[in-house]
Amino acid sequence: MEKKKRVYVFGKKSAEGAANLKDLLGGKGANLAEMDLLGLPVPPGFTISTEACTEYYALGKNQLFEILKDEVEQGLKHIEKILNAKFGDPTNPLLVSVRSGARVSMPGMMETILNVGLNDITREGLIKKTNNPRFVYDSQRRLIQMYSDVVMEKAAGIEPEEGKGIRQQLEAELEKIKQQKGVKNDVELDADDLKKLVDIYRAKVKEVLGKPFPEDPMEQLWGAIFAVFQSWNGKRAVSYRRIEGIPDDWGTAVTVQSMVFGNMGDDSATGVAFTRNPATGENMFYGEWLPNAQGEDVVAGIRTPYPLNEATKSEHNKHLPSLETSMPEIYKQLVDIRNTLENHYKDMLDIEFTIQERNLWMLQCRVGKRNGIAAVRMALDMLDEKLIDEKTALLRVKPNQLDELLHPLLDPNSESKAKIIAHGLPAGPGGAFGKIVFSSKDAVEWAAKGEQVILVREETNPEDIDGMRAAAAILTARGGMTSHAALVARGWGKCCIVGASDVEINIQKKEMHSAVGVYREGDVISLNGTKGLVYEGQLSTISPAENPYFIKFMKLVDKYRVLRVRTNADTPDDAKTALDFGAEGIGLFRTEHMFYGKGGEKPLFILRKMIISNNETERRRALDELFPFVKEDIKNTLKVMDGLPVTIRTLDPPLHEFIPKNLEARERLAKELNITIEELNNRAEQLHENNPMMGHRGVRLGISYPEITEMQVRAILEAAAELVKEGKNPKPEIMIPVTINENELKHQNEIVKKVYEEVKTKYELNELHYEFGTMIEIPRAALRADEMAKYAEFFSFGTNDLTQLTFAFSRDDVGSFLQDYLDKKIIKFDPFQIIDRESVGELMKIAVERGKATRPNIHLGICGEHGGEPSSVEFCHMLGLTYVSCSPYRVPIAKLAAAQAAVKE
């Protein structure tokens, strides 16, 4: 029995803890101590440390009881002394709440028990003291209801049938008594009813759970303490931790605090507030309150909460009295507290308070959650207010929150008043309004006439592409987050809601039916793609990207950022979008993109001819035919990126990917190519691979068929040469994929050097800038980076493939077991989303060290999808890479992650 401190008291400036002891006291306990030290009115109490929780799981209930007993008793005495009341005392009883509190907030995931210490004896004392029997009986029946559920059933590990839990059974009794009295609301029950209910509850608890409700206050207290510990491993809490990445061994603290009551009459109240507006970031005290109510009533949504002050009244609550006018002296006290807290914590805070008979009590304070828009504004405002410095301001915004600022949004004020038509999955963020159209064709036509339209479809397919492009937003009744509509919309950064299963679409009648009405072609609706909500009518939108706060914030980001940020872009359009978001070059231009989608039919057909070729002569003929398309394609993007580096990857996928799979398309192709279907099938069969990811692709094609590399290199260099002639400054970088050793690079580099001389001669140029480099995406290439760097002027880490090979996880197939691996905690995260520093990261580190050993000034980048993921960007910064490359819409996010990594260093 080690003699360490496990219980920390607070109240009347007596706090033994402080805000910096969150690990030990949990967020709630630490902040209560801090507020107490600041001299704010905090009901006295004590916090049992998270270490005790760990001991609870290691040693068991009985042993922990022995360890904690004395300290808890001392804690109780401390409260009793401050309040001059006594726990379990028949005349002047003290009641306490028992609450959980982990290092980080896990809202609603663990248990709370109120009114502990109430029994038939103490209630009489309390009735005398408060002169409010109804309140006391109600408190008692609430205690029984909570306690029997949380302590006697959940913590005891009893798993009742669905709907047969003790809580439901007691609620049924409450309903019964209401029916008997013929009333609808709980508040209509009087003291006698509630007194009767207490007895009914106790009998029911004994009947259902087989043991009596404990009347002994100390037994109640200990039961509650252990139940909170037990709730740390409740199902909800465990699954929440898994999602949020919270370690299981942190444990929860338990705070035992004297009860204060906001429901003791009209001079009592309860409320929650943010020190600034968490949705807009505006520097306005913002909150809600309810007179004669308990904390849960404010959030439960049974009564509409009142506005905290006059300035922040909304359409919903403008008719209701504010605290500012109802209790001006209390409101003034609260404003002072707000200022004290912001000055002390130097951040926006989320607070809970209770007013008991005109006495203000602070029950909670913590750093408040905020959306991205608010986060950016608050950071900049506080910087202006000199509350924080630039580095702190940078760290105040989570990189992913910037995503919210990159799309038009529905105005939250207009949203709060609007009528919701339907709910769906938030597939493409942002907000938009427009007239309903039910076909892609209509979308294109209406848009051409200048109408803003929303394309509404059962589901979309590739033929809808043009309509989707023309529409302001897309709504589908079916499909999930990876459906066609979702994928396309996200790629474009377009507002989109999919799988809105509560609407029914009638294409013939051009009608959309929802629970709240029928909407026809031309009717205006609005979509919130960030939340998945469909509204009736036109809501106003705001364009946060033009927000001066965003622009100012990105300037701050660029000031501290070391890592460069490029984009993965295959078209001039993508390149332009990325430039608008501040991209500093293209890190990955995939030549093969040009064969997909619109405009790709002709080159794809020629490519297929090339693939079907039986010999080099035929292949060269097809390549010659393909050449002008490839050159044009590359030139267009080089032109947009004038003066910035553009990394062009030579053909990467295995050739068979370009051969159509279905019979009909094959027959058409065979006919077009003037060969028999058998020949085509034979060739396709020859090209078939069991594991194409590790097959004949990338540089391997360029080794087998050097003429394929040659054509591409010529296209790149001629495109650049033509631009030079046009007075531009193209900076192409030729990148060879799927490499494993220096000989491949030497072989390909010889082709490049030869073509380079030819192009210089043809265009009569003395020189033409280009770089030659390679992907590092295969473990061997990473390990042999020293030899790769002999020829490569740059490396670009292809972390998608590197992850596939390091884990032997086929990205196409991992779905069959990835969820099992996450559920069973075999892996902590999806390595395709976040770089696994322990393996892929180690290979990258090796490659960086060895590459630099050969070529100290080698350029190092990353073009896998990790390039836009904040933790991975941080890792790239730590590795000393030159740049990351990500999709256009993630450029600002990557920039912020890079700046934060630099600041944290």
Q: Which residues are catalytic?
A: 484, 863
Report the amino acid identity of residue 885.
Answer: S
**Helix (DSSP H) and strand (DSSP E) numbers for the chain:** 34, 33
Residue 812 touching its own copies (CB under 8 A): yes
Residues 16, 689, 771, 793: which binds its own copies (CB under 8 A)? 689
Residue list 427-486, contact with its own copies (CB under 8 A) = none
Stretch that binds its own copies, among 191-199, 398-406, 557-565, 734-742 (CB under 8 A): 734-742
CB 388 within 8 A of CB 379: yes
Q: What are 190's two structure tokens?
A: 């009087």
Torsions phi, psi for 435 (to 5 deg)? -85, 140
What's the rounded Cα separation, in Å, for the pair 306 and 326?
Answer: 11
Around 391, how many Cα atoms within 13 Å sit in the side-chain half-sphere? 5
Residue 176 touching its own copies (CB under 8 A): no
Other CB atoms closer than 10 Å to residue 884's CB: what's the count? 31
Going from the C-alpha of 616 to that of each of 288, 619, 620, 659, the distances in angstroms are 77, 5, 6, 19
CB of 736 to its own copies, least distance (A): 12
- Classify residue 520 by its DSSP letter: E
Residue 700 touching its own copies (CB under 8 A): yes
CB 252 within 8 A of CB 228: yes
Q: What are 797's two structure tokens?
A: 């880490």
CB of 228 to its own copies, least distance (A): 29
What's the rounded Cα separation, in Å, for the pair 613 and 621?
Answer: 9
What's the rounded Cα separation, in Å, for the pair 500 and 614?
Answer: 51
Residue 509 touching its own copies (CB under 8 A): no
Residue 186 touching its own copies (CB under 8 A): no
Going from the C-alpha of 226 to that of each of 60, 219, 378, 445, the distances in angstroms are 10, 11, 40, 66
Cα Dmax for the chain? 105
Around 871, how many Cα atoms within 13 Å sit in the side-chain half-sphere? 10
Residues 284, 673, 703, 903: which binds its own copies (CB under 8 A)? 703
Residues 691, 761, 766, 857: which binds its own copies (CB under 8 A)? 691
CB of 50 to its own copies, least distance (A): 24
CB of 741 to its own copies, least distance (A): 7
Residue 820 touching its own copies (CB under 8 A): yes
Residues 825, 833, 853, 880: which binds its own copies (CB under 8 A)? 825
Residue 740 touching its own copies (CB under 8 A): yes
- HEC letters along 817-858: HHHHHHHCCCCCCCCCCCCCCCCHHHHHHHHHHHHHHHCCCC
**Neighbour-count burial of 905, counting CB atoms closer than 10 A to its CB (0-12 exposed, 13-18 middle, 19+ buried):** exposed
Residue 317 touching its own copies (CB under 8 A): no
Stretch that binds its own copies, among 8-16, 206-214, 357-365, 803-811 (CB under 8 A): 803-811
Residues 359, 839, 854, 871: which binds its own copies (CB under 8 A)? 839
Residues 188, 546, 754, 817: which binds its own copies (CB under 8 A)? 817
CB of 782 to its own copies, least distance (A): 9
Stretch that binds its own copies, among 64-72, 370-378, 577-585, 809-817 (CB under 8 A): 809-817
Residue 658 touching its own copies (CB under 8 A): no
Residues 154, 484, 784, 866: which binds its own copies (CB under 8 A)? 784
Count of residues touching its own copies (by CB under 8 A)? 47
Question: What SS3 state is found at 519?
Answer: strand
Stretch that binds its own copies, among 97-105, 158-166, 331-339, 815-823 (CB under 8 A): 815-823
CB of 713 to its own copies, least distance (A): 18
What is the edge-to-edge ordering of all strands in the sheet holding 349-356? 306-307, 286-291, 269-274, 349-356, 359-367
What's the rounded Cα separation, in Å, for the pair 449 and 825?
Answer: 55
Stretch that binds its own copies, among 301-309, 416-424, 712-720, 822-830 (CB under 8 A): 822-830
Which CB atom, from 18 or from 703, has the smaller least distance to its own copies? 703
- Provide the angle, in degrees to the nearest 10, between the axes of the packed helices 616-640 and 706-725: 30
Q: Single out the residue of 86, 150, 88, 148 nearest to residue 121, CA to CA.
A: 88
Q: What are 192's two structure tokens?
A: 């006698």
Q: Single out the residue of 65, 67, 100, 60 nearest to residue 232, CA to CA.
A: 100
Residues 413, 741, 854, 871: which binds its own copies (CB under 8 A)? 741
Q: Mention every residue, 6+ apart, whose C-beta is less than 8 A from residue 319.
A: none
Which CB atom, from 448 or from 808, has the smaller least distance to its own copies? 808
Residues 16, 196, 695, 763: which binds its own copies (CB under 8 A)? 695
Residue 780 touching its own copies (CB under 8 A): yes
Report the amino acid identity of residue 206.
Answer: K
Residue 569 touching its own copies (CB under 8 A): no
CB of 814 to its own copies, least distance (A): 8
What's the rounded Cα separation, in Å, for the pair 237 and 234?
Answer: 5
Residue 238 touching its own copies (CB under 8 A): no
Residue 231 touching its own copies (CB under 8 A): no
Residue 538 touching its own copies (CB under 8 A): no
CB of 750 to its own copies, least distance (A): 11
CB of 771 to its own copies, least distance (A): 22
Residue 790 touching its own copies (CB under 8 A): no
Residues 304, 704, 729, 833: which binds its own copies (CB under 8 A)? 704
Residue 849 touching its own copies (CB under 8 A): no
Residue 768 touching its own copies (CB under 8 A): no
Q: What are 895's two structure tokens?
A: 């920039």
Stretch that binds its own copies, among 428-436, 660-668, 771-779, 873-881 (CB under 8 A): 771-779
Residue 838 touching its own copies (CB under 8 A): yes
Going from the C-alpha of 202 to that of each of 162, 176, 408, 473, 619, the distances in angstroms are 22, 15, 56, 56, 87
Binding site for its own copies (CB under 8 A): 689-696, 700, 703-704, 738, 740-741, 743-744, 747, 777-780, 783-784, 801, 804-810, 812-814, 816-817, 820-821, 824-827, 836, 838-839, 842-843
